[in-house]
Amino acid sequence: MFFQDVPQGPPDPVYILKNAVDADKCPEKVDLGVGVYRNERAQYNELGAIKEAKKILTQKELGHDYEVTTGDAEFVRNAAAVLFGKNNKAIKSSRITSVQAISGTGSIHLAALFLSRCASFKGKQVYIGTPAWGNYEPLFNLVGLKVVKYKYYDAAKGVVDFKSVLDAVSQAPEGSMFVLQGCCHNPSGADLKPEQWRELANVMRPRKLFPFFDMAYQGLGAGLEEDAYGLRYFEEQGFEFLACQSFSKNFGLYGERCGVLHVVSEGEKVPANVYDQLRCLIRWEFSSSPAYGARLVNTILGNEELSTKWTNELITMRQRLISLRRALYSELVEKRKTPGNWSTILSSTGLFCFLPLDPRQVSTLATQHHIYMLQSSRINVSGMNQSNIERIASSIDEVVRSS
Ligand code: PLP
């Protein structure tokens, strides 16, 4: 008996919720939980550009050879152009080192592992604004990095608590790492405004703090270019930083595990050495990344017509999220005058927002109305659609009034 002492792992609220939704056989159940973009039929949404890219790849019969350790060079270049902008000078000057990784989560893990082995970050801590994506803390702890939490979100006002963010960057010791979600903050949907990104950079630079960008939702907030504002501003200001890019949400490639880690560094030989270390870490940990998702993305980004189709589809997704937010707000506030402050529905961006519901109300919605969201009251806006939104609003109204 070798494994008697293996303890249970901590529960994952997202998957507990998913199991509860799957177990509920009510035909009218509503899943506002897991962070996947759903279409009007409440189903996974395969993009038309992906469908076409699949046909092109089928014809090419590329087979299933290993991908090179650091990923397909053209794919990572195209991915960098999405994040940093097509004509970004840093890409051309090779200040940016990009390697393929196993989607956003795998990029964050690789980045954390890399930082944990860099001499400059020895004894340094990772600052995470709360509420946060639940996977950050375990991902950093896994490689021995300690996490410090500070308040990111002002729940009463439904906006970023910018004073608290500034306090955190003003007080953190030199060399601390700050995880910054570039757009569509998970779970709050509350993002920094351009002037706040600029102010943040101004405070972080003299204090020699290290930005760790997480870009999991580019294109679903204010637009592909707009969503990258903060990251691009930090790059223009000459920061060294890293960015974890996921194509799960904006290409609908969740299961293909497709993403890129970009490291922006300074110094003559530095980018080459960074690249070499990443190559080693990838080789030692997982050898190379999955090829198929990257081939799909590359087929789209390398083809003007398909690229336009993709960006138009992203616009449609984004506009649908906005109109669902308006519809829910109107159902609750204008039609039903539901008690409470529902302004976060309109003020947040992307896939998520918090509703002003307590855990007991969230449970009642699940058990009595078959409407599921995270205990924190975070909803996935795309889980709503024209056929369920009225029922969602009337159930919320009923639960709020009866508690
Ligand atoms: N970062 C944030 C904030 C997320 O919400 C997610 C996924 O939900 C990820 C990163 C990683 O996503 P994936 O590993 O699917 O690319």
The predicted model gives 365-383 an average pLDDT of: 96
Residues 29 and 122 in one domain: no
DSSP annotation of 67 reads: P
Does residue 355 have a pLDDT over 90? yes
In DSSP notation, 60-88 reads HT---PPPPTT--HHHHHHHHHHHH-TT-
Residue 126 lies in a domain: yes
In DSSP notation, 158-188 reads TEE-HHHHHHHHHHSPTT-EEEEE-SS-TTT
Does residue 169 have a pLDDT over 90? yes
Residues 18 and 101 in one domain: no
213 lines ligand 1 (CB under 6 A): no
What's the pLDDT score for residue 172?
97
Please give the single-letter amino acid code of residue 168: A
What's the pLDDT score for residue 339?
96
What's the pLDDT score for residue 91?
82
pLDDT, one tens digit per residue, over 98-142 is 999 999 999 999 999 999 999 999 999 999 999 999 999 999 999
Residue 55 lies in a domain: no
Closest-CA residue, ligand 1 atom 1, reads: 216
What's the pLDDT score for residue 94?
83
What's the pLDDT score for residue 74?
96
Residues 368 and 280 in one domain: no
Strand partners, 264: 96, 241
Residues 27 and 96 in one domain: no
The whole-angstrom separation of Cα 355 and Cα 155 is: 10
181 lines ligand 1 (CB under 6 A): yes
246 lines ligand 1 (CB under 6 A): yes
Residues 81 and 151 in one domain: yes
Residues 286 and 235 in one domain: yes
| Contact status, residue 333 vs residue 339, Cβ threshold 8 Å | no
Active-site annotation, residues: 133, 214, 249
Residues 129 and 269 in one domain: yes
> Domain tally for the chain?
2
Counting from 1 in the atom list of ligand 1, the atom nearest the Cα of 181 is 3
255 pLDDT band (50/70/90 cuts)?
A: very high
Token pair for residue 25?
A: 């056989």
Residues 320 and 290 in one domain: no
218 lines ligand 1 (CB under 6 A): no
In DSSP notation, 19-36 reads HHHHH---TT-EE--SS-
Residues 223 and 326 in one domain: no
Residues 268 and 125 in one domain: yes
What's the pLDDT score for residue 87?
85
Counting from 1 in the atom list of ligand 1, the atom nearest the Cα of 254 is 15
The whole-angstrom separation of Cα 395 and Cα 401 is: 10
> Cα(311) to centroid of ligand 1, in Å?
20
> Cα(28) to centroid of ligand 1, in Å?
28
Does residue 84 have a pLDDT over 90? yes
ipTM: 0.99
Counting from 1 in the atom list of ligand 1, the atom nearest the Cα of 247 is 16
Of the residues 302, 330, 362, the one at which a domain ends? 302
104 lines ligand 1 (CB under 6 A): yes
Share of the chain above pLDDT 70, in %: 100
190 pLDDT band (50/70/90 cuts)?
A: very high
Strand partners, 101: 259
> Cα(397) to centroid of ligand 1, in Å?
31
The whole-angstrom separation of Cα 204 and Cα 210 is: 8
pLDDT, one tens digit per residue, over 1-48 is 999 999 999 988 888 999 999 999 999 999 999 899 999 999 999 999
What's the pLDDT score for residue 337?
97
158 lines ligand 1 (CB under 6 A): no
Residue 50 lies in a domain: no
Residue 18 lies in a domain: yes
Of the residues 271, 302, 333, the one at which a domain ends? 302
90 pLDDT band (50/70/90 cuts)?
A: confident
Strands (E), 289-395: 352-354, 371-372, 378-380
Residues 346 and 279 in one domain: no
Minimal CA–CA distance to 209: which of 126, 289, 282? 126
Residue 308 lies in a domain: no
Residue 269 lies in a domain: yes
> Cα(105) to centroid of ligand 1, in Å?
6
403 pLDDT band (50/70/90 cuts)?
A: confident
What's the pLDDT score for residue 92?
81
Residue 241 lies in a domain: yes
Counting from 1 in the atom list of ligand 1, the atom nearest the Cα of 108 is 10
Range of the domain at 265: 66-302
Of the residues 275, 302, 329, the one at which a domain ends? 302
What's the pLDDT score for residue 105?
98
Residue 3 lies in a domain: no
107 lines ligand 1 (CB under 6 A): no
Residues 333 and 358 in one domain: yes
Helices (H) and strands (E) counted in the chain, each on its own, are 15, 13
What's the pLDDT score for residue 81?
96
SS3 assignment, position 122: coil
Does residue 268 have a pLDDT over 90? no
Counting from 1 in the atom list of ligand 1, the atom nearest the Cα of 185 is 3
The predicted model gives 188-206 an average pLDDT of: 97
The whole-angstrom separation of Cα 50 and Cα 388 is: 28
Length of the chain: 403
Q: What is the CATH number of the domain that holds 377?
A: 3.90.1150.10
193 pLDDT band (50/70/90 cuts)?
A: very high
Contacts of 13 (CB under 8 A, 6+ apart): 134, 374, 375
> Cα(139) to centroid of ligand 1, in Å?
12
Average pLDDT of the chain is 96
Q: What is the CATH number of the domain that holds 222?
A: 3.40.640.10
Does residue 89 have a pLDDT over 90? no
- pTM of the full structure: 0.96
Closest-CA residue, ligand 1 atom 4, reads: 216
Share of the chain above pLDDT 90, in %: 95
245 lines ligand 1 (CB under 6 A): no
